[in-house]
Structure 1
Amino acid sequence: MSKISRFIIWICSKFTRNEIEQIINGLVDVLQDRNPEVKPKDDFKEKHPNYRNFSVDPLAPLPEPPQPKEPLPSKYYKLLLAEYQLKCGKRLSPVKYRPSSQQVPEHTSCACWTGIWGRP
């Protein structure tokens, strides 16, 4: 038995026929918007809880990009290796591959080194 059926049975058990007719007339007035003080329950928010659930940021967007806090590192790996040696006092050791990993073929080279700067 639905909630509405139980509600109807409850109304019939508590009120007389004339009172039920007055309740029905009052509900018809509400549904036809003749009674502005009483509005039916709007279940749209229950069905769609996140509809237009947003807020405006308090600050305006950045008018220009922020300045980097530290300079970007050099693209030249040899310069980076020299800077590391000056900074730490020792050479940076090469990558140690695990025995189970595949080795890069010897004839493979980076396209940016051979294409842009003409160096292998």
Structure 2
Amino acid sequence: MAMTISGLARAGSVGVETVRFYQRRGLLDTPDRPQGGGVSGRVRRYDEADVRRLKFIRSAQAAGFTLEQIGELLRLDAGQDRTRARELAAERLAALDLRIAELQAARDSLRRLASACHASEEGPCPIISAFEG
């Protein structure tokens, strides 16, 4: 099923400019304009493989992979380079674990400040004081 860039964008739940951005970054191919008569005959066409690739990019982004890492994943042969794919996944997991630890520490700190703020009505608010310093 051939579709225009707007059809591809709709199928991937993104905007046309996002598709073009991914093309400029080399993550999505830019099909050649077909030869032919009339304006409509020269419109680039995309297929289901392009939709799958676009959805892969979006899913990988949702998992926190950078565009560079996504490009590398796309270049890997799915059946032949599992080692590198696992390495990229392990790197991403380590980064997520670090971010989760940072967020938990921030939550715990804010919880302590909120408790201190609630415990007394005297003096400056501990929450505001913490962010001023």
Whether TM exceeds 0.5 here: the answer is: no
Larger Rg: 1
TM class by shorter-chain length?
Answer: under 0.3
- Structure with more helix by fraction: 2
Task: Provide TM-score, normalisation by structure 2.
Answer: 0.19
Higher relative contact order (CA 8 A, sep 6+): 2
Task: Provide TM-score, normalisation by structure 1.
Answer: 0.20
